[in-house]
Chains A and B, each alone.
Chain A
Amino acid sequence: AQRVTQPEKLLSVFKGAPVELKCNYSYSGSPELFWYVQYSRQRLQLLLRHISRESIKGFTADLNKGETSFHLKKPFAQEEDSAMYYCALSRITGANSKLTFGKGITLSVRP
């Protein structure tokens, strides 16, 4: 079974502070991990995926298979980062795989 755990519901930081949004997963095979973001009144958007190993809007996430984690990090938070963040997992076995989401975390960046 696939499972994604985001242990915190809310993270509130001041602008310029570092951010780490935690995500742990459970899956017997080789998963693909994603972070989706939902800004206020907007749709779910892909932020980044582990297979791309890229940095988007200053965010990075490294897949740690030993700890089964895919934490999202940003060294200096900006007010515009305030949003709902979802970690998600899909099977790596091919296309058309369903996404399994965590419960999401609200990031609030205060001025």
Chain B
Amino acid sequence: EPEVTQTPSHQVTQMGQEVILRCVPISNHLYFYWYRQILGQKVEFLVSFYNNEISEKSEIFDDQFSVERPDGSNFTLKIRSTKLEDSAMYFCASSPGQGYQPQHFGDGTRLSIL
């Protein structure tokens, strides 16, 4: 069964540095998402992406965050200048298309900001 894959599984970065989290969605999926889960808290929506543009973003997704689909297969989340509070598990998800299609999640990337 096809899966959403995320790399790396764990990223350790100094505060203030840029970080890029990578995701390969399922190949025929059209909608892409990023979520995050701070330790001990709920999974929170960050952004959704369709047709090469952001469809919706949350209050968390400020100017420090950006997403890109650079080559038709990868879907990346960039944090320009990381803060301690960005430490979290980041999940990528994708869904097939029209209608009420469920989202398929990747294993997540654990981001640790020092």
Bound CA span A94–B55, Å? 12
What's the minimum C-beta distance from A106 to chain B, rounded to whole angstroms? 12
Chain B 85-114 per-residue mask, 1 if CB under 8 angstroms from chain A, else 0 = 000000100010111111111111000000
Is B33 at the interface (CB under 8 A from chain A)? yes
Which of A18-26, A45-53, A60-68 contacts its partner? A45-53
Bound CA span A83–B91, Å? 18
Task: Tell me the nearest residue of chain A to B105, going by C-beta.
Answer: A44
How many residues of chain B get a CB closer than 8 Å to chain A's CBs?
29
Is B48 at the interface (CB under 8 A from chain A)? yes
> Which residues of B lie under 8 Å from residue A103 when comparing CB positions?
41-42
> Which residues of A lie under 8 Å from residue B43 when comparing CB positions?
44, 86, 99, 101, 104
Is A40 at the interface (CB under 8 A from chain B)? no
Is B31 at the interface (CB under 8 A from chain A)? yes
Inter-chain contact B105/A95, CB cutoff 8 Å: no
> Which residues of A lie under 8 Å from residue B4 when comparing CB positions?
43
Interface size classification for chain A: 20 to 34
Inter-chain contact B107/A95, CB cutoff 8 Å: no
Inter-chain contact B42/A95, CB cutoff 8 Å: no
Among A96, A97, A102, residue most surrounded by chain B Cβ atoms (within 10 Å): A96
Task: Tell me the nearest residue of chain A to B57, going by C-beta.
Answer: A98
> Which residues of B lie under 8 Å from residue A43 when comparing CB positions?
3-4, 105-108
Since A43-B3, A96-B56, A97-B48 are in contact, a sample of 18 more A-B pairs with Cβ atoms closer than 8 Å, ordered by chain A residue number, is A36-B105, A42-B107, A43-B105, A43-B107, A44-B91, A44-B105, A45-B105, A49-B100, A51-B100, A95-B31, A96-B31, A96-B50, A98-B48, A99-B45, A100-B45, A101-B42, A101-B44, A104-B42
